[in-house]
A = this chain, B = another copy of it.
Amino acid sequence: MKIKVINPNTTWEMTKGIADAAESVRRPDTQIIAVSPEIGPASIESFYDEYLSIPGVLEEVKKGEEEGVDAYVIACYGDPGLQAAREVTEAPVIGIAEASLYMASMLAARFSIVTVLPRIKTMLEELVDGYGMSKRVLNIRTTPMCVLDFERDPERGMELLRQEGRKAVEEENAEAILLGCAGMAEFANELEEELQVPVIDGVVAAVKFAEAIVDLGKTTSKLKTYKAPETKQFIGMLAPFGSKA
Chain A interface (Cβ < 8 Å from any Cβ of B): 10, 25, 27, 37-43, 45-52, 54-56, 58, 81, 83-84, 86-88, 92-94, 98-99, 102-103, 105-111, 117-119, 121-123, 125-126, 129-136, 146, 169, 173-176, 196-198, 200, 204-205, 208-209, 211-213, 215-216, 218-221, 223-227, 229-230, 232-239, 241-242
Compute how far the CA of A212 lies from the CA of B92 in the bound complex, rounded to whole angstroms: 16
Are A40 and B236 closer than 8 Å at their CB atoms?
Answer: yes
Are B84 and A47 closer than 8 Å at their CB atoms?
Answer: yes
Q: Which residues of B contact A136 (CB under 8 A)?
A: 132
Compute how far the CA of A224 lies from the CA of B81 in the bound complex, rounded to whole angstroms: 23
Compute how far the CA of A232 lies from the CA of B105 in the bound complex, rounded to whole angstroms: 28
Q: A7 to chain B: closest CB distance in Å? A: 13
A55, A121, A133: most-surrounded residue (chain B CB, <10 A): A55
Are B46 and A87 closer than 8 Å at their CB atoms?
Answer: yes
Are A216 and B25 closer than 8 Å at their CB atoms?
Answer: yes
Pick from B27, B169, B225: contact of A110, CB under 8 Å:
B225
Compute how far the CA of A56 lies from the CA of B176 in the bound complex, rounded to whole angstroms: 29
Pick from B41, B132, B216, B223: contact of A132, CB under 8 Å:
B132
Compute how far the CA of A208 lies from the CA of B94 in the bound complex, rounded to whole angstroms: 15
Count the copies.
6
Are B118 and A221 closer than 8 Å at their CB atoms?
Answer: no
* Further 20 A-B residue pairs, CB within 8 A, beyond A40-B234, A51-B55: A38-B236, A39-B236, A39-B238, A41-B238, A41-B241, A41-B242, A43-B232, A48-B58, A48-B84, A48-B229, A52-B241, A56-B238, A103-B213, A107-B221, A108-B221, A110-B224, A121-B173, A122-B225, A132-B132, A205-B216
Pick from B51, B196, B208: contact of A216, CB under 8 Å:
B208
Compute how far the CA of A47 lies from the CA of B48 in the bound complex, rounded to whole angstroms: 17
Which residue on B lies nearest to A10, using beta carbons?
B235
Which residue on B lies nearest to A95, using beta carbons?
B106
Compute how far the CA of A111 lies from the CA of B221 in the bound complex, rounded to whole angstroms: 10
Q: Which residues of B contact A226 (CB under 8 A)?
A: 108-109, 175
Compute how far the CA of A184 lies from the CA of B190 in the bound complex, rounded to whole angstroms: 42
Compute how far the CA of A37 lies from the CA of B212 in the bound complex, rounded to whole angstroms: 27
Compute how far the CA of A104 lies from the CA of B88 in the bound complex, rounded to whole angstroms: 18
Q: Which residues of B contact A239 (CB under 8 A)?
A: 39
